[in-house]
């Protein structure tokens, strides 16, 4: 690709041949930053921006990238939708996520009337649905920029187009095999960060919209992942969370295939990196090799998020999960044997089409047998375009709500019991922040992800402290630092 680039160092135009995609985007960031400076001079105040995130950890990570680009352009980030640039990074896994976005956009109409120069942008999974974009074009004309999940790296270019074209900019890609590296990003915490190791999903669970809106599975090159983590560690990061919809199938489609366990071993060699977490693990791809690496590598946190979805083999089959109740329980046994301290968490859907009381009792049975530290419980939400949406026997709302409440109560009782098993022990805690309610306390996490509060101060943030766990308060501990 060939393009003309403004060179700030020489103050002149330079012709740059064969720019990489990242270089093209840095060019647009430069262009936008000139515009931001002009606006700031005109207004006599800084231009502000805000990123509003819905949904999962993938979206949170994408939002750090959006923030990095906005900061590079020169916006001052604030935590308010009264900013000069507001971007909503959307989720569409469940229907109420969509409804929340429309609600917020409705309110923003008034906000924009008060600040007509502001920009409103939308991106993320919800934008990959054609009917959503049609609705926005028709009824939400105050939106300035719309893009999806595949071209987030083009954010600066799209802002540039909005500035220069002065009309709504829409750029949605159906799919991509492109992974653009080396763009700016701004970490929410200086000491921990999410690292994408792969994008997309090939599993097509029958209830789930993710494969349609995030595209096919693509793994990043191991050398790119290692480089990003090494740079983050040099910058003060001690904990990484490796992100993918199904990390256990990492590396299958690389030119030189590599397993997730092999990648983990390489990551654990990085000096200065203290903790490695990952999510999400699909039970059908969880290998013995991975369980062994978890047991052997002290840096790998003793926490496994292993979505169950349902405890009924029949429902699992209809969900296209490709494991049985027995397979799942066997995996849990292996994990507990290999890592006796492990904490297990899960996702469960209640009210999938055709779910009978017996099926639901199978789910409760797994919950009893596993003893989860916590579980995200969801009411099944019909997503148009997925196979489950047209299945017969959708479950009436009152039945689902009743089951959901029974499940939630049991999950909470068990979690409180399970959580207390470490009472009296000394654990390593990574301090994350000063406690919001009591500033004489700090809050951190154990390797197994359990929250601990203890006496301390801001100087401890980002360090790992030995803490004696004094009392368990259902889902967290009160402890004291030991010298």
Distance CA 396, CA 10 (A): 68
CB 477 within 8 A of CB 443: no
Q: Least separation, in Å, of the C-beta of 12 and ligand SAM?
A: 48
211 interface partner picked from ligand SF4, ligand SAM, none, CB below 5 to 8 A per type: ligand SF4
Residue closer to ligand SAM by CB (options 150, 383) is 383
Q: Least separation, in Å, of the C-beta of 59 and ligand SF4?
A: 13
Please enumerate in sequence order all residues whose Cβ is within 8 A of that of 444, keeping only pairs 6 or more positions apart, or say none. 429, 430, 431, 432, 451, 452, 454, 465, 467
| Angle at 406 (CA atoms; ends 309, 445), nearest 5 degrees | 65
Give per-residue burial for 324-352: e unless 16+ CB within 10 Å, then b: ebebbbebbeebeebbeebbbbbebbbbb
325 interface partner picked from ligand SF4, ligand SAM, none, CB below 5 to 8 A per type: none
Residue closer to ligand SAM by CB (options 196, 381) is 381
Q: Least separation, in Å, of the C-beta of 209 and ligand SAM?
A: 7
Determine if residue 374 is left, alpha or beta; phi over 0 gives left, psi from -120 to 50 gives alpha, anything else beta. Answer: beta
204 interface partner picked from ligand SAM, ligand SF4, none, CB below 5 to 8 A per type: ligand SF4
381 interface partner picked from ligand SAM, ligand SF4, none, CB below 5 to 8 A per type: ligand SAM
Please enumerate in sequence order all residues whose Cβ is within 8 A of that of 263, keeping only pairs 6 or more positions apart, or say none. 197, 222, 225, 242, 250, 251
What are the residues binding ligand SF4 (CB under 6 A)?
Answer: 201, 203-205, 208, 210-211, 245-246, 282
Q: Least separation, in Å, of the C-beta of 274 and ligand SAM?
A: 26
Distance CA 282, CA 22 (A): 32
Residue closer to ligand SF4 by CB (options 155, 372) is 372
56 interface partner picked from ligand SAM, ligand SF4, none, CB below 5 to 8 A per type: ligand SAM
Residue closer to ligand SF4 by CB (options 211, 354) is 211
* SS3 call for 481: strand
316 interface partner picked from ligand SF4, ligand SAM, none, CB below 5 to 8 A per type: none
Q: Least separation, in Å, of the C-beta of 83 and ligand SAM?
A: 27
Give the β-pairing of 2-7 and 12-17.
antiparallel
What are the residues binding ligand SAM (CB under 6 A)?
Answer: 56, 93-94, 207-208, 210, 245-246, 280, 282, 307, 309, 347, 349, 378, 380-381, 383
Residue closer to ligand SF4 by CB (options 162, 214) is 214
Q: Which helix (H) or strand (E) holds 190?
A: none
- Nearest alpha carbon to residue 261 among 270, 250, 277: 250
Distance CA 89, CA 55 (A): 8
Residue closer to ligand SF4 by CB (options 154, 282) is 282
Residue closer to ligand SAM by CB (options 56, 78) is 56
Percent composition of the chain: helix, strand, coil (DSSP 3-state, to 5): 40, 25, 35
6 interface partner picked from ligand SF4, ligand SAM, none, CB below 5 to 8 A per type: none
């Amino acid at each position: 690709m060939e393009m003309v680039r403004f060179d700030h160092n020489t103050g002149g135009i330079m012709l740059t041949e064969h720019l990489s995609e990242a270089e093209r985007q840095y060019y647009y960031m430069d262009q936008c930053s000139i515009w931001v400076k002009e606006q700031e001079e005109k207004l006599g105040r800084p231009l502000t921006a805000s990123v509003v995130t819905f949904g999962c950890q993938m979206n949170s990570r994408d939002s750090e990238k959006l923030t990095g680009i906005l900061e590079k352009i020169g916006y001052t980030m604030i935590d308010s939708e009264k900013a000069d640039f507001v971007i909503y990074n959307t989720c569409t896994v469940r229907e109420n996520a969509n409804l929340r976005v429309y609600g917020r956009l409705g309110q923003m109409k008034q906000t924009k009337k008060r600040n007509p120069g502001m920009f409103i942008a939308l991106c993320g999974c919800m934008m990959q649905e054609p009917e959503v974009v049609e609705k926005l074009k028709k009824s939400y004309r105050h939106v300035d920029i719309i893009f999806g999940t595949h071209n987030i790296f083009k954010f600066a270019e799209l802002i540039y187009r909005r500035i220069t074209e002065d009309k709504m900019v829409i750029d949605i890609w159906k799919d991509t095999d492109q992974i653009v590296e080396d763009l700016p990003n701004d970490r929410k915490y200086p000491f921990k960060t999410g690292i994408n190791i792969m994008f997309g999903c090939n599993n097509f669970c029958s209830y789930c919209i993710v494969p349609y809106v995030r595209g096919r599975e693509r793994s990043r090159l191991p050398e790119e992942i290692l480089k990003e983590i090494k740079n983050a560690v040099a910058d003060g990061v001690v904990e990484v969370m490796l992100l993918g919809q199904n990390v256990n199938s990492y590396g299958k489609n690389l030119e030189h295939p590599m397993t997730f366990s092999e990648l983990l071993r390489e990551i654990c060699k990085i000096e200065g990196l203290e903790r490695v977490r990952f999510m999400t693990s699909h039970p059908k791809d969880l290998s013995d090799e991975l369980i062994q690496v978890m047991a052997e590598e002290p840096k790998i946190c003793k926490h496994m998020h292993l979505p169950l979805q349902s405890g009924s083999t029949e429902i699992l089959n209809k969900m296209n999960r490709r494991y049985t109740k027995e397979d799942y329980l066997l995996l849990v046994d292996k994990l507990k044997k290999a890592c006796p301290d492990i904490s297990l968490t899960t996702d469960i859907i209640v009210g999938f089409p055709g779910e009978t009381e017996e099926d639901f009792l199978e789910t409760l049975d797994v919950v009893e047998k596993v003893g989860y530290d916590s579980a995200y419980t969801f009411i099944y939400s019909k997503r148009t375009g997925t196979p489950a949406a047209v299945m017969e026997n959708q479950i009436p709302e009152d039945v689902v709500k009743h089951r959901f409440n029974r499940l939630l109560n049991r999950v909470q009782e068990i979690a409180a019991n399970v959580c207390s098993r470490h009472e009296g022990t000394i654990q390593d805690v990574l301090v994350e922040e000063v406690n919001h309610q009591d500033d004489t306390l700090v809050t951190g996490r154990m390797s197994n992800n359990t929250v601990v509060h203890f006496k301390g101060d801001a100087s401890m943030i980002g360090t790992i402290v030995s803490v004696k766990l004094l009392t368990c308060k259902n889902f967290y501990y009160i402890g004291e630092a030991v010298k």
